[in-house]
Chains A and B, each alone.
Chain A
């Protein structure tokens, strides 16, 4: 009996550590889970910021899977997310404005959209396979621009720059269910990503990211790992794109797919700390709050939030390349050492 509980707790602990939930992580999730009931967060206005926070955090995790592990900055991330959004939106369409009216439920469409994005990620992975970090980043940027161009050009399906108004997930004006949906997606994406990156696959990712040739020479098959990485990351992007479509219920190619959107995700992931996965989550919420606040408090200064993103990103890259997560990790180590002075 005692033995089996011991076993169970060991299993729980390994699972926890494999999925990367430290006790502080659990506390953070718990706080996020009850936040919508605590003033001032329970107002619909602020709840919306929380939804955006969870949405951005999930994006940062998915983005970091590629940037932080195989060291390829996917500049087409937003465009791929947009593919998921458009797929789901088109599938859900019942109106006369575009040429098809499949009327598929958003709950199904979001997955089809995710598979569409994953398929594109698969192709992108293959395309950039022989290209090193920088070439791959620029190529992904080109592909992103081309996808944005397609979304604008294929007006019979997308209405071009006019944009679409897909139906919403829930039949309620409240943001509450969306918040838990976004939070659930964020946690799921985090757990899956963490499981993958803490397995032998993650080791291969890191090896490829650090030194492509050495990794290949030591028998790691770059094709599989890079394509797999891109596919998974883009699958998540597509999923989040579906969320975007049926949460914001209004979308234009530029608003989702523009390079600047990829850069926002990139900024959060990198300020959070690349290769840590949870850094983006920690940073996303305060950031979204700060920036949304600035945007509403200083409407006379349009784009100020992007300038702040830029400045912070530069400062972090120069002076703290491991980002917030790196900082916290180091701090923890130092505290640990203080608590347990070395035996002499």
Chain B
């Protein structure tokens, strides 16, 4: 009996201690829940569902971004272009199949056709990431590590402009989109109508994040990635090929952004600068929760989605950039390394 109260007391103490140490964490979650409830009351439950769906995507994007940042210390500014490449890939794979199916209806093929697009986007994203890592970041890394964070950041800025303008040059500025992936009526859920595309985009984001979580936590290679992010010299000492891990991480992050681009093609048509908004939101999430903090990025995706929905609900879409920036300013003044704290060494030093 006495022991039980003792345990409860220590538990309570440690929770209090945690809240004292990081008061922002429960605060942020509480604020998000409150925002969600307010959105639900003001805009109806459909708005809440939409925010959750968007949150899944921002989480996916931000996770890729923060992984690259955490493992390689590269602040990636062309994450949006990876998104764009995914969108184009899905478009060019899915559209011909779709046209063929219009002439030759086949229910089974129609159901799985979108997957071809997603898969192709994942693969192309992965390949793009590997090529860029080997072509751009590997040479920089082997030249000098001085001012690495800023220099690599500027390289990604260069890559970003090359990619978007290169695509503009080759494919032109036109929008390429699809009305929907699955031509089926929306799912009704009490008063909420949810298209299958939306539902699936969310589902896909969650599956990818779960796979990633398993990969990072339970596999030898995933552990190696975490090891490199925590101590590069230590990782080399236990026999990890750092260069390979860097390439792999970069490719995975790029691939995740490409998957997001593919999954959202029905919402964001493919065009050369389609990546701007996803880039903004991904960075927003990462800054808000703390650089390199992978698990926090998932939570952050949802926080930002609610913030975004609330902004549109109460201020109007044209304030979509102003209000979040003000919120970010306040957050960073209170917690300069994000709500959940940064896990990246090297960033702080520069």
Q: Which residues from chain A sit less than 8 Å from chain B, CB to CB?
A: 71, 73, 127, 130-135, 137-139, 141-143, 145-146, 148-150, 152-153, 211, 260, 263, 266-267, 270, 301-304, 306-307, 309-311, 313-314, 317-319, 321
- Pick 11 A–B contacts, CB within 8 A, sort by A: A71-B150, A134-B75, A138-B75, A139-B329, A142-B325, A267-B158, A306-B165, A309-B158, A310-B159, A311-B158, A317-B140
- B328 and A142 contacting across the interface, CB-CB below 8 Å: yes
Query: Known contacts being A71-B150, A307-B169, A318-B155, is A142 close to B162, with CB within 8 Å?
Result: no
Option from A141, A152, A317 in Cβ contact (under 8 Å) with B151: A317
- B139 and A318 contacting across the interface, CB-CB below 8 Å: yes
- A307 and B150 contacting across the interface, CB-CB below 8 Å: no
Question: Inside 8 A of B337's CB, which chain A residues have their CB?
Answer: 135
- B350 and A301 contacting across the interface, CB-CB below 8 Å: no
Contacts across chains A and B counted by CB atoms under 8 Å: 130
Query: Known contacts being A149-B321, A307-B165, is A127 close to B332, with CB within 8 Å?
Result: yes
Which of B75, B322, B324, B347 counts the most A-chain CB atoms under 10 A from its CB? Answer: B322
Query: Known contacts being A133-B350, A149-B321, A153-B322, is A318 close to B168, with CB within 8 Å?
Result: no
Interface residue B157 (Cβ < 8 Å from any Cβ of A): yes
Question: Inside 8 A of A263's CB, which chain B residues have their CB?
Answer: 157, 161
Nearest Cβ on chain A to B154's Cβ, whole angstroms? 6
Q: Tell me, in angstroms, the Cα distance from A314 to B156 when the chains sit together.
A: 9
Q: What residue of chain B has the Cβ atom nearest to residue A153's Cβ? A: B318
- A73 and B150 contacting across the interface, CB-CB below 8 Å: yes
Q: Per-position contact with A for B244-262: 1 when CB-CB < 8 Å, else 0? A: 0000000000000000000
Interface of B is mostly: helix
Interface of A is mostly: helix
Option from B144, B155, B350 in Cβ contact (under 8 Å) with A132: B350
Instruction: Give me the 5 closest cross-chain CB pairs, A-B, nearest first.
Output: A149-B321, A146-B325, A303-B165, A310-B162, A310-B158
Query: Known contacts being A138-B287, A313-B154, is A132 close to B348, with CB within 8 Å?
Result: yes
Q: What residue of chain B has the Cβ atom nearest to residue A124's Cβ? A: B329
- A146 and B150 contacting across the interface, CB-CB below 8 Å: no
How many residues belonging to B are interface residues under a CB distance threshold of 8 Å? 48
- A134 and B322 contacting across the interface, CB-CB below 8 Å: no
- A71 and B151 contacting across the interface, CB-CB below 8 Å: no
Interface residue B105 (Cβ < 8 Å from any Cβ of A): no
Tell me the chain B residues, 313-348 only, with Cβ under 8 Å from chain A: 318-322, 324-326, 328-329, 332-333, 336-337, 347-348
Nearest Cβ on chain B to A313's Cβ, whole angstroms? 4
Question: Inside 8 A of B162's CB, which chain A residues have their CB?
Answer: 306-307, 310-311, 314
- A318 and B336 contacting across the interface, CB-CB below 8 Å: no
Tell me the chain B residues, 282-331 only, with Cβ under 8 Å from chain A: 283-284, 287, 291, 318-322, 324-326, 328-329
- B154 and A149 contacting across the interface, CB-CB below 8 Å: no
- A303 and B154 contacting across the interface, CB-CB below 8 Å: no
Q: Tell me, in angstroms, the Cα distance from A303 to B273 when the chains sit together.
A: 12
- B144 and A321 contacting across the interface, CB-CB below 8 Å: yes
Q: Which residues from chain B sit less than 8 Å from chain A, CB to CB?
A: 75, 136, 139-140, 143-144, 146-147, 149-151, 153-155, 157-162, 165-166, 168-169, 173, 280, 283-284, 287, 291, 318-322, 324-326, 328-329, 332-333, 336-337, 347-350
Query: Known contacts being A149-B321, A314-B158, is A319 close to B143, with CB within 8 Å?
Result: yes
- B287 and A135 contacting across the interface, CB-CB below 8 Å: yes
Option from A146, A260, A306 in Cβ contact (under 8 Å) with B321: A146
- A149 and B322 contacting across the interface, CB-CB below 8 Å: yes
Query: Known contacts being A133-B350, A263-B161, is A139 close to B139, with CB within 8 Å?
Result: no
Option from B147, B291, B320, B328 in Cβ contact (under 8 Å) with A149: B320
Q: Tell me, in angstroms, the Cα distance from A263 to B153 when the chains sit together.
A: 12
Q: Tell me, in angstroms, the Cα distance from A263 to B291 when the chains sit together.
A: 23
Q: Tell me, in angstroms, the Cα distance from A150 to B151 when the chains sit together.
A: 30
Query: Known contacts being A134-B291, A303-B168, A309-B161, is A317 close to B155, with CB within 8 Å?
Result: yes
- A307 and B333 contacting across the interface, CB-CB below 8 Å: no
- B325 and A307 contacting across the interface, CB-CB below 8 Å: no
Q: What residue of chain B has the Cβ atom nearest to residue A213's Cβ? A: B349
Query: Known contacts being A134-B149, A139-B328, A143-B325, is A304 close to B136, with CB within 8 Å?
Result: no
- A149 and B319 contacting across the interface, CB-CB below 8 Å: yes
Q: What residue of chain B has the Cβ atom nearest to residue A313's Cβ? A: B158
- A139 and B322 contacting across the interface, CB-CB below 8 Å: no
Which of A127, A131, A317, A321 counts the most B-chain CB atoms under 10 A from its CB? Answer: A317
Nearest Cβ on chain B to A76's Cβ, whole angstroms? 10
Nearest Cβ on chain A to B202's Cβ, whole angstroms? 26
Question: Inside 8 A of A134's CB, which chain B residues have their CB?
Answer: 75, 149-150, 153, 291, 347, 350
